[in-house]
Structures are given as C-alpha cells and as structure tokens.
Amino acid sequence: MALDPTSGFVASSSLQGLGEASLPIFNVERVQLQFAISSDFVAAQVANNVLILALTSGRILRIDLDNPADIDDIDLPKKSSEIGIIRRMFLDPTSSHLLITTTLGEIYYLHNQSRTPKPLSRLKGVVIESVAWNPSLPTASTREILVGASDGNIYEVFIEPSAEFYRREEKYLKSVYKAPSGPITGLWADLIPGHSELRRVLVATNEKLLHFVGKIGRHEGSGSIYTKLFETEAPTPHDVAKISTSSPALLVVSPDPPDATFDNLSSERIFAWLSSQGVFHGRLLTSPTSPDLGTKLFSDAKLFPRNLLPLPERKAVVSIALTQWHILHLVGGRVIAVNRLDQSIVYDQEVLDAGHIVLGFVVDQKKNTFWLFTNQEIFEIVVSDEDRDIWKIMLKDEQFDAALRYARTPTQRDSVATASGDYLVSKGQYLEAAGVYGKSSKPFEQVSLTFIDHGEQDALRKYLLTKLSTLRRSSVMQRVMIASWLIQIFMSKLNSLDDTIIAKTELSNTASPEQSKDQLPNIRTEFQEFVTKYKPDLDRKTTYDIISSHGREEELLFYASSVNDYNYVLSYWVQRERWTETLNVLKKQTKPEIFYKYSSVLMSHVPMELVDILTRQSNINPRNLIPALLNYNKDARVPLSQNQAVRYLLFAINQLLSSDAAVHNTLISIYASHPSKDESALLTYLESQSHQQERRYDADFALRLCIQHKRVQSCVHIYSSMEQYLQAVELALKHDEIDLASIVADRPEDNPTLRKKLWLAVAKKVISQSDGIKTAIEFLKRCELLKIEDLIPFFPDFVIIDDFKEEICTALEDYSHHIDALKKEMDESATTASNIRADIAALDRRYAIVEPGERCYVCLYPLLSRQFFVFPCQHAFHTDCLSGKVLAQAGVARSRQIRELQTEVGKGVTVGRLREKAIAELDALIASSCILCSEFAVKQIGDPFVLPTDNTTEWAL
C-alpha cells in the first residue's frame, strides 16, 4: 500500500434525508481517501478526532483528522498467517488506548504515544465483544477497565504501558462477573456525581440488559475494584420477551453534549439497547443512589419497536448510534434517523452501494461526530441544527419549560408562552399563567378580561408587571397606562388587606386576618419595588390622584420620595403640622431651594430644630433666609442667648465666614431692636468687626438703628470706628457717659490737636457737672495735654482761686523751666553757628598732596599729564575722565547742563568773569562728589566687575 504524503479526506457527495429540504438535519457525506490502499478495511474506530483503520493486510493506519496528512502506518508484530486477520478494535474516548483483537484470539494493546502494538498474553484466547473504559480517563494507563467476552464473562483488567521487554502490559486481570446467557454485547461504566465511591455498570447481552450500582473497592491500581460491586450488588434486569438469534444486540451511549446547543433537560446521558424487539432507550439517571436507581431508569425508558421502521419483516437492524436527540439505524445500506422523543422518522436514505460490507457506526464521544464504515468507504453523518424542532415536541407533550428552553426565535417562544398560559388557565393556575402570558403576544385585552372575569386580581397584577417589563421603551403610552393601572390595583389590594385586618373577619374572596397580616408587608414591598423600577413610566399627577383617592398616606409619600418630589412630601407634612416628619424629610435634603421655601413656617414652629439642620448645610446662602429670620424675630419673646435667628446669623458669620452686608445688618437690627437694655451682645459683635481688615456691616445703617433704639455705647463705638471722634464724644457727653467719652477722647493718639480738643469738650462737661473744682481738675489730669490755662475759661464766674492755687503754681513753675530750657538751646545754637563759620573759613586753606607716580582712578594714566581733580578721600581723576563718568550716571537735565557749560568753556563763548563763573559752575557739577565714594558708587552696584572688553585672564584664579 503506497501512501501519499499529502493525503487527506475529501467529502465527495452528500445525501439529504427527510425533513425540511432547505435545512436537512442529517447529511451523509462520502469521504474519499487521498492515498492508495491495497486492501479493504476490516475494522475502524474514531475518537477525539483520531481515525484508526485496520486493513485486511494486517496494517493499522492512525490518522489525525485535524491534520489528515499526518498518518502513522503501524504493523502488527506478526504476520496475518500467524495471528489471523484483525477482527475488532476498541478505542477509548480520548484516543489514548487501543485494543486490537484478531480472528485467532490474539489481543494487542497500542498506546497513542507508541507505534508498536504490545501483545496481552493474559487475555489471549478471550473473544472480546465490548469494553467499558474507565470514566476517569485520560490517564497514562487504562486504569481499571471492564472487558466483555463472547462466553458471557466480564474481566477487569489494568493495562499499563511499559518499555521493559520482559514486563507484561497487563498489571492484573480478573474475572469479576459471569452473565447468565449469551455474549456480553455491550458494557458501560460511569461515576455517580457527588459520590466518588459509587459506580454504575450497564451490562448488555442478547437477552438482557443489567444495571449495577454500588460501592467499589478502594485499592485502585493495586487490585480489582469492581469485584466488590459485582459480588455485593444484585443487578436490576430488563428482559426481552422474544428472542431472535439472527438479530444483533448492541449497547450505545450518547456522546458528550455540545456546550452551546445541548442540555438534554439535565447533565444525564442517554443509553440505547438494540435487541430483537427494537431499541430500548432512556436517560442514565444519577439519582437515587440506591439500588432502586436501575428500576427507575428502566421504568422511565421507552422502547422504539422494530416494526415502526419502514423495513421488510426479515430485514434486521445491523447497528445503531445515538446523537443528542435521534437514534440512527443502519439497516443494510440504509440509514434511518428516528427522533427519540416522539419516535418520528426524520431521515431515511439508501446510502451504500451494492456489494459493500457494513462495518457499522462509530461515534466520536468527545467531538460529537458520527461515522459510517464499510469495507471500502467512509461516510460522515453530518448533523445540522438537530434540536430545531425539539421545542415543538416538548410543546406537544406539554413540557412547556423545556419547550421554551429550546425555542429559538421570538415567534417560537411566543407560541410556547401562549400555549403554556392557556394550559395553566385551564388548570386554574392563574398566577403561573400570568407570568407566562406576560411574555406572549396573546391579545392584551383578552388576557386581562380572563383574569378579571375570574376575579384573579393577583394574577392580573402579575400579568401587568410582566407585560410592562417586556414593552419597548418607545411604547410610552402603553407603558404609562399599564403602570397607572398597576397603581390602582396595588392600592385596591392594600386597602382590601387593611379592611380584612381591621374587621378581624374574613371578607368575601379574601384571606383570613392572619394571612392578611403576613401578606400586607409583602404587597407593600412589591409596590415599593414597582415604583422604584417603573417611576419613569408613571405620570406624576395621575399617580398622586390615584393614591390620594385611596387614602394611602404611606404609599403616597413613598412615591413622592422615589421621584424626588420632596416639595410634595414637605408640603404634605407642613399642611398637617406634622413637624417631626417634616424635619425628618428636611434632614435628607441638599437643595437650597427647599430650605428657602419652608424656612419661614418652620422657623415659626420649630426654630431650634430647623437651625440645627441649617447649621449642617454648607451650600445655603444665608441672605435668602433673612425674611424667615426676621419674621421669627418679630414674634419671638426670648432672650438674645436663646434667639435662634441670632444663633444662625452668628453661625453664618463665624463659621461660614459670610461677608454679605445684608447678613451682618440683619444681626445688628435684631440686636438693636431687642427689648433688653443690655448692649453687651451688640458691642461684642461690633468689637469683633473692628478687628477685621474690612468692616462687613453698613455703618450708616447700624448708626441709624442704634440712635433709633438709643444704643448709646454702640453708637459711640460706630462713630469711633468711622473715626468721627468728635461726634462720638459729643454723643457720650450728651447722655452723661463721661467715662465713655474719656475713652474715646484718648483714641486719636497720633493727632494731639484733635485729642486735646476732645478732652476740652470732656473737661467742659466735667467742670459743669462737678461739685468741686478740685474734683474736676483731678479727673482731667488723666490727659497730659490739658493745662490749667485751658481750663480756666470753663470755670464759673465766681470761683475761689484757692481751689486751684496749687495747679497755677505748678503751671508757672513749668513755664519757668521751659524758659530756662529755651535759653540753653539758644546759647548752644550760637556756639554751633560760630564753629560753622570757622570751618567755612578753613576750607579756603585746604590742600592735598599728589605723589609724582599717582595715576587717574579711571584711565590709570599718570595724573599729572593733564588737568585733574583730587577729592578729600584722596581719589584723583583727570577732568575729562571724571566728566565722562558723571555724564554716564547723571540725569537728563544735569547732563544737558554739563554739556552746555562744556561747550561755552571750550569754544570761548564767554570771557572774563562770565567765563570764570561758567568754569566754576562746571566744576561744581562735575566735582561735587567723588564717584567712588559717594552716591555715584551706590548707583553702580549692578554693574559687573568684569566687562566684555576686559582681559578675562587677569581675573582667573
């Protein structure tokens, strides 16, 4: 046999079966091998996308269907003449382990990582008919597997690959069970979910199907684990009545379900047993875990009789295979697919050509693919959209939940929902029907009338809720109408429950009082959830009207709160003068407008509580609360310490740092207008404002208020803060507040004249009111600016000089001392003037010595080379050098004057005395001060030490 390295599979044709012509469920596609084969197939297996072909020549081909060019060509260790032709092959679902049997009783084992089949000497001579693989695969070894023989024996074998030449592959082999009749045509072993110690084993013969379930031994890997199960548990049998020796027997189990399309009502697999009567099939139930599991499994299973197949009586079913929903029958060259739910035939097609020998169906358990093998060809049975009509079958059998699960299109789901609802209504299960009807397209009015006619308000409520949840957002009117209707139904239900509870007797068509008490909170909660979810669909005015008409206060307020209509809630409580409830709602608000709106009424009734709330808000403008505060203050008859308007205004000023003049003026107004004569609070505020950089209140307004309400001390303070000290003193003296006037008179400390004037006013008042001149004079000694001569004009016309003789004497002594001091200063001034005249006369004789080598401090050339100036500081400069430096530093006017004088002197414009005067003026301008010691040097502080024209190397360190 020659193999093409580019070999692969090609589907050459497809045969359509019964069903919809455009979308057939089953297509049988002939697969062509693109490599040459020198002999026919004798056996084939597929698992996990790996194809194993056995040829009559004794060769085995292992082909990866994902990469058809990858072919392993494997030979058996001996020739066919010695061991016989390959009879059957058994491949585990993971394609890891392969058992090969020959016609002469030889058995070989091949691991997927090996190319050399190993003989199993312990199994030699056993004619294997079936294998139950370990459910815990894949593993490096087969672990514990069951092998069914043609003589009815079941063996447990553990095969472990080994590279050692003398080591057997079989770790152990043990006979665990002997079937009562016939060969073991089928075996299956699986785990019971949640019970690792339990195993289930199905044993099929020509006559019986046996079900075992029980505990296995715990020594896995070291000894038989199934012995305990077969020895301790009695099987549950299923027998066939008629036996036909010519009919084959076979046990198959459904493959792993596809994740996306298959659910099979549970995670349980399907089994099918082919016998002479037909196909016995059902679910491999996993509960109960007792021995009754087999009884329940067989009682729930169904028999598809052979006579329902369109076959001649003598024609036998050669093989069967299970898809997820169908049973595939191979009869001669025909493939017949039967839906196992309703036993309808969905596919019947002659597939094989004459002369082909059928090897049977092979199912890939992992990949969910189905294959038909003959001795010459390979066919793949392609399953397309297998569960598309399952919903119809489920619906017909009134399995509505399952039907809905398999319905794909909206039309299909609607048909299921409508039929399910009708069925539930016929059974009187209105609540269940409501939920189903809500998802159907059955006319709204028809469903609603059905519930209304039967008095099923709860079902109607549930239907409307479900219907509302399915309506599109664009269906605004429908949503509003249904939502409003639901409000009406909820209110009626709540009232009905309340009536039952209050009456303490069962009313017509209602629950008992105890049941109503239990039901009431649930209905109220349901209403609240409905409002929270569907509040956008509720018309606010309509909803208010409906709830109000039923007198449901709690529900009314809940709805208003849900839609954030706190104005309504607050208005509701305020109208009923329920201040506690009002404040509870107000505490949760953050919008300033709400506080402004209700501040007036709340300040009148619960001022302290309101201010407590207001002081916790930072986004309120105190100006907008002034009307409410003034309105409260007008009627409040409490001390200032308990005045809540004052409390809030102080909070706004001290905590919120309000600079609004209206807020400050309001506080002054309340302080000034209070009946109490005590001005301490107002003065404290005014004094605190005096420390601010900017006065926050309106001084004129505050002054008018204080004058109006005769707040003298406050008026004086305000006058003082305005630096109107004279008015402050006059006002204090007008009200005989002499001490206060004295304090104010001392304030202009930097203006002695004004201070003396103020004190003279105080002195006049003091002298006029004093009982004795001496007492008045003692008081006025507090100001050092006042002299006795200043006070004499204020004395009465008839006064005894003895009362102030001492003060007059003191004043005269002071004058005498002052005259002596002035004489001394005059003498000192005369001496100083004489010294100055002597210094001026000595200036004419001043000179400086210039050394021969001395240089100019500007140009560094010898000083004596041309005209120069020498300063007392011993700095010397050439005249032109000094002139240039002075011009660079002098201002515009001085520079112009110097240049004009230089022009006059240089050109000889002036002569004689005029020339000498010009030279003197020029020298005075140029040589007024040394440029290195005077202000000229200070002006040069920003000049760099090293100029760009200088030699920088001289400054290098």
Hey, how many other C-beta atoms are within 10 angstroms of the C-beta on 176? 21
Residue 351 belongs to a domain = no
Residue 58 belongs to a domain = no
pLDDT in tens, 179-200: 987 899 999 999 988 888 899 9
Q: Find, among 111, 120, 56, the residue nearest to 87 by Cα.
A: 56
Q: Report the pLDDT averaged over residues 826-854.
A: 80
Task: Tell me what pLDDT residue 51 has.
Answer: 93
Shared domain for 472 and 502, answered yes or no, is yes
For the chain, give percent helix, strand, coil, nearest 5: 45, 20, 35
Q: What is the C-alpha to C-alpha distance for residues 217 and 148, in angstroms, rounded to an integer? A: 20
Q: Report the pLDDT averaged over residues 442-461.
A: 88
Question: Distance of alpha carbon 40 from its chain centroid, rounded?
Answer: 67
Contact, 676 vs 670, CB < 8 A? Answer: no
Name the band, by pLDDT with cuts 50, 70 and 90, for residue 244: low
pLDDT in tens, 50-108: 999 999 888 999 998 888 888 889 999 888 888 999 999 999 999 999 999 999 999 99
Question: Distance of alpha carbon 671 from its chain centroid, rounded?
Answer: 52
Residue 773 has pLDDT above 70, yes or no: no
pLDDT in tens, 209-221: 999 999 998 765 5
Q: Please provide residue 390's backbone torsions phi and psi, each rounded to the nearest 5 degrees.
A: -65, -35
Predicted TM-score (pTM) of this structure? 0.57
Residue 224 belongs to a domain = yes
Shared domain for 702 and 717, answered yes or no, is yes
Task: Tell me what pLDDT residue 20 has.
Answer: 40
Q: What is the C-alpha to C-alpha distance for residues 24 and 389, in angstroms, rounded to an integer? A: 12
DSSP string, 707-754: HHTT-HHHHHHHHHHTT-HHHHHHHHHHTT-HHHHHHHHTS-TT-HHH
Mean residue pLDDT of the chain comes to 82
Q: Report the pLDDT averaged over residues 30-39.
A: 74
Q: Which of 332-341, 387-396, 672-681, 915-924 ranks highest by mean pLDDT? A: 332-341
Name the band, by pLDDT with cuts 50, 70 and 90, for residue 337: very high
Residue 783 has pLDDT above 70, yes or no: no
Shared domain for 511 and 405, answered yes or no, is yes
Name the band, by pLDDT with cuts 50, 70 and 90, for residue 708: confident
pLDDT in tens, 638-660: 888 889 988 999 998 888 888 88
Residue 404 belongs to a domain = yes
Q: Report the pLDDT averaged over residues 851-860.
A: 87
Could you say which of 210, 236, 262 is where a domain stops?
Answer: 236
Q: What is the C-alpha to C-alpha distance for residues 690 and 685, in angstroms, rounded to an integer? A: 9
Task: Tell me what pLDDT residue 1 has.
Answer: 34
- Specify the range with the lowest mean pLDDT, choosing from 490-494, 802-806, 926-930: 802-806
pLDDT in tens, 510-545: 556 777 788 888 888 888 899 999 989 999 999 989
Task: Tell me what pLDDT residue 779 has.
Answer: 62
Residue 618 has pLDDT above 50, yes or no: yes
Residue 376 belongs to a domain = no
pLDDT over 90 percentage in the chain: 23
Question: Distance of alpha carbon 465 from its chain centroid, rounded?
Answer: 30
pLDDT in tens, 122-181: 999 999 999 999 988 777 888 899 999 999 999 999 998 877 755 677 888 999 999 987
Shared domain for 447 and 460, answered yes or no, is yes
Q: What is the C-alpha to C-alpha distance for residues 702 and 714, in angstroms, rounded to an integer? A: 9
Which residue would you say has higher pLDDT here, 491 or 721? 491
Residue 735 has pLDDT above 80, yes or no: no
Name the band, by pLDDT with cuts 50, 70 and 90, for residue 6: very low
Name the band, by pLDDT with cuts 50, 70 and 90, for residue 16: very low
Q: Where is 203: in which H helix or E strand?
A: strand 195-204
Shared domain for 709 and 830, answered yes or no, is no
Residue 875 has pLDDT above 50, yes or no: yes
Maximum C-alpha span of the chain: 171
Task: Tell me what pLDDT residue 843 has.
Answer: 66
Residue 755 has pLDDT above 70, yes or no: yes
Task: Tell me what pLDDT residue 5 has.
Answer: 36
Which residue would you say has higher pLDDT here, 883 or 16? 883
Could you say which of 181, 216, 236 is where a domain stops?
Answer: 236
Task: Tell me what pLDDT residue 153 has.
Answer: 95
Shared domain for 765 and 637, answered yes or no, is yes
Residue 228 has pLDDT above 60, yes or no: yes
The residue type at 250: L
Task: Fill in the DSSP letter of residue 855.
Answer: B
Residue 46 has pLDDT above 90, yes or no: yes
Q: Where is 111: in which H helix or E strand?
A: strand 107-111
Task: Tell me what pLDDT residue 189 has.
Answer: 94
Residues in the chain: 957
Contact, 124 vs 108, CB < 8 A? Answer: no
Q: What is the C-alpha to C-alpha distance for residues 775 and 111, in angstroms, rounded to an integer? A: 133
- Specify the range with the lowest mean pLDDT, choosing from 89-93, 263-267, 447-451, 556-560: 263-267
Shared domain for 407 and 552, answered yes or no, is yes
Contacts of 269 (CB under 8 A, 6+ apart): 190, 253, 254, 283, 284
Task: Tell me what pLDDT residue 635 has.
Answer: 83
Task: Tell me what pLDDT residue 810 has.
Answer: 66
Contact, 391 vs 412, CB < 8 A? Answer: yes
DSSP 3-state assignment of 118? Answer: strand
Residue 520 belongs to a domain = yes
Domain count, the chain: 5
Residue 328 belongs to a domain = no
Shared domain for 636 and 670, answered yes or no, is yes
Residue 357 has pLDDT above 90, yes or no: no
Shared domain for 789 and 809, answered yes or no, is no
Shared domain for 518 and 602, answered yes or no, is no
Task: Tell me what pLDDT residue 703 has.
Answer: 85
Residue 610 has pLDDT above 50, yes or no: yes
Task: Fill in the DSSP letter of residue 189.
Answer: E
Contacts of 263 (CB under 8 A, 6+ apart): 257, 405
Shared domain for 821 and 915, answered yes or no, is no
Shared domain for 798 and 817, answered yes or no, is no
Task: Tell me what pLDDT residue 261 has.
Answer: 42
Hey, how many other C-beta atoms are within 10 angstroms of the C-beta on 684? 11
Could you say which of 174, 206, 236 is where a domain stops?
Answer: 236
DSSP string, 27-88: EEEEEEESS--SS-EEEEEEETTEEEEEETTSEEEEEETTEEEEEEEEE-SS-HHHH--EEE
Q: Give the residue numbers spanning the domain of 722.
A: 577-803
Pairing of β 378-383 and β 170-178: unpaired
Residue 262 has pLDDT above 90, yes or no: no
Query: CA of 283: how far to CAs of 297, 370, 787, in Å?
Result: 7, 20, 128
Sheet containing 326-331, strands listed edge to edge, beginning at the edge strand earlier in sequence: 319-322, 326-331, 334-339, 345-350
Residue 47 has pLDDT above 70, yes or no: yes
Q: What is the C-alpha to C-alpha distance for residues 567 and 782, in angstroms, rounded to an integer? A: 66
Residue 202 has pLDDT above 60, yes or no: yes
φ/ψ region of 532 (left if φ > 0, alpha if ψ in -120 to 50, else beta) reads: alpha
Residue 931 belongs to a domain = yes
